[in-house]
Amino acid sequence: MGRTVAVVTGASSGIGAATVRRLAAEGFDVVAAARREERLAELAAATGCRALPLDVTDDASVRALADQVGGCSVLINNAGGAFGLDSVASANLDDWQRMYDVNVLGALRVTKALLPALVASGDGLIVNVTSTAAHIVYEGGAGYCAAKHAERAMSETLRLELSGQPVRVTEIAPGMVKTDEFSLVRFGGDRERADAVYAGVPGPLSADDIADCVAWVATRPWNVNIDSMIVRPRAQAAQHKVHRQI
């Protein structure tokens, strides 16, 4: 009997790359999928994963991934991102469009494409990596919060629609995770603004912390469904309440 195949999107950096490393260490046959093929090649060399190019906003790219993967038991919808921190009054519609395309429609495309294989596996699992922004809003975050709320709604609806089918659906909602790129991308490459997000915060979460959560969910028995997991660093008591040592 072969190893369990797990597909991880957004695998070229951050939580995605950490998840690839962790699942590979757990013995999964991991497919690392993302746009940046040179980074995937490095990850494949380090972990033995299969590297496949993927743009979750492109239908043809998603179809090609599904064709190449074949059988699949675990799907980690991790590709996503936040763009900008504008108020609703000054919202950049292009940023909102990108957030919906990547976070919501991207997860939808990949889920649709791989769902037949997940059902056919007899023990499928879909993990959607959302955010605490999927559960509570904050000023300047309307676009990202709206997209992540939508992704959470899709997760919960899918669980209802798959009732009786051999597929579990889990949402993992990270709070403050310090990675190399998330805040830097959000602020258009402005390193000072990106670093300010974590300034003085003792022990923000790392990508490995979230990968640990994904691996735990992925190694539960077939009858155990973890509906939702909200994960914050101890310093973040709530979305708006963060302890800083300054």
Q: Mind telling me the catalytic residues?
A: 144
State the Cα–Cα distance between residues 112 and 90, nearest whole angstrom.
Answer: 34
Q: Is 114 left (phi over 0), alpha (psi -120 to 50) or beta?
A: alpha
- Residue 58 burial class via C-beta count within 10 angstroms: exposed 0-12, middle 13-18, buried 19 and up: middle
Of residues 96, 200, 105, the one with CA closest to residue 145: 96
Are 172 and 133 in contact, with CB atoms under 8 Å apart? no
Rounded to whole angstroms, the Cα distance separating 100 from 148 reads 9
- Does residue 74 contact residue 5 with C-beta atoms inside 8 Å? yes
Query: Residue 103 and residue 148: Cα distance in Å, rounded?
Result: 7
